[in-house]
Amino acid sequence: MPDPILTDAIERLLAGDDIGRAGAQAAVGVVSQGLRPEMPRRVPPDLAQLVRQCWAAVPDQRPSFPQICTRLAEMLDVMKQQPAPAATVLQ
C-alpha cells in the first residue's frame, strides 16, 4: 500500500506545486539518506527518544501503536505530578 504522504507529495510535484516539490525532496532524503529533522531542545528527553524510535528505518524496530500510547500516557502522568511552572509577567 503506497504511503499517502509520499503519494500526495508526488501528485503535487507532478502538478508543479512548490510544496509538493519540497515534500518529495524531503521524502527522497528520508528514504535514500535516512535524514530526519533536528529535534528541538525544548522537547522532553523521553518524548525525543520515543520520536526517534518511531523514525527507525526498520519497521520492526519501531514501537507499536499501543506501545506509543502507553508511553505517552506515562509521560503525561509524570507531567501531571510535577508542579506547574511559575507564571511569568510580561511588562
Name the pLDDT band for 89 (thresholds 50, 70, 90).
low
Could you tell me where the DSSP H helices lie in 1-91? Answer: 4-14, 18-33, 45-54, 65-81
Mean of all residue pLDDT scores within the chain: 78
57 pLDDT above the threshold of 70: yes
| Per-residue pLDDT, 61 | 95
How many CA atoms lie within 13 Å of 90's alpha carbon, on the beta-carbon side?
0
CA 28 to the chain's CA centroid: 17
1 pLDDT above the threshold of 60: no
> What is the average per-residue pLDDT within 13-40?
67
Provide the terminal-to-terminal Cα distance of the chain, rounded to the nearest Å: 54
Which of the pair, 6 or 45, is modelled with greater confidence? 45
